[in-house]
Amino acid sequence: MTPLIRLDNLTVAYHRHPAVHHVSGAFTAGSLTAIAGPNGAGKSTLLKAIMGELRPAEGRVEHRLGRAEFGYLPQAAEIDRRFPISVIDTVLLGAWKKAGAFGRIAPGEVKRAGEALAAVGLEGFAKRHVGSLSAGQFQRVLFARLLLQDANIILLDEPFTAIDARTTRDLVDLVLRWHGEGRTVIAVLHDFELVRAHFPETLLLARELVGWGPTAAVMSPANLLQARAMAERWDEDAAACERREAPAA
Ligand SMILES: Nc1ncnc2c1ncn2[C@@H]1O[C@H](COP(=O)(O)OP(=O)(O)OP(=O)(O)O)[C@@H](O)[C@H]1O
Answer yes or no: is 134 within a domain: yes
Q: Which residue, by CA, sits nearest to atom 11 of ligand 1? A: 19
Question: Per-residue pLDDT for 66 more than 70?
Answer: yes
pLDDT tens track for 48-65? 999 999 999 999 999 999
Burial of 115 (0-12, 13-18, 19+ CB in 10 A): middle
- Domain assignment present for residue 245? The answer is no
| Mean pLDDT calculated for residue range 39-52 | 96
Report if residue 190 sits inside a domain. yes
Asked whether residue 104 is domain-assigned, the answer is: yes
**Closest residue by CA, ligand 1 atom 1:** 14
The finding on whether 40 has its CB within 6 A of some atom of ligand 1 is: yes
Quote the CA–CA distance of 169 and 175 in Å, as a whole number: 10
Q: Is 56 in the pocket of ligand 1 (CB under 6 A)?
A: no
pLDDT of residue 125: 96
- Does 44 sit in the ligand 1 pocket, CB within 6 Å? yes
Q: Ligand 1 centroid to 179 CA: how many Å?
A: 28
Distance from the alpha carbon of residue 143 to the mean position of ligand 1, in angstroms: 24
Q: What radius of gyration, in Å, describes the C-alpha atoms of the chain? A: 19
Residue 241 lies in a domain: no
Res 244 pLDDT > 60: no
The amino acid that residue 39 corresponds to is: N
Alpha helices in 67-220 (DSSP H): 87-99, 109-119, 135-149, 165-180, 192-198, 215-218
Range from 166-170, 175-179, 216-220 carrying the lowest mean pLDDT: 166-170
Confirm whether 76 is domain-assigned: yes
Tell me the C-alpha distance between 97 and 183, whole Å: 17
Q: Establish if 200 belongs to a structural domain.
A: yes
CATH at residue 174: 3.40.50.300
Q: Which domain holds residue 122?
A: 3-232
In testing the pocket of ligand 1, which one of 14, 54, 157, 186 has its CB within 8 Å of the most ligand atoms? 14
Does residue 19's CB lie within 6 angstroms of at least one atom of ligand 1?
yes
Per-residue pLDDT, averaged over 31-49, amounts to 97
Query: How many structural domains comprise the chain?
Result: 1
Q: What is the predicted ipTM?
A: 0.98
242 occurs within a structural domain: no
76 burial via Cβ count (<10 Å: 0-12, 13-18, 19+) = middle
pLDDT digits (tens, 9 = 90+) for 103-144: 677 778 889 999 999 999 999 999 999 999 998 999 999 999
What value does the mean pLDDT take over residues 189-216? 97
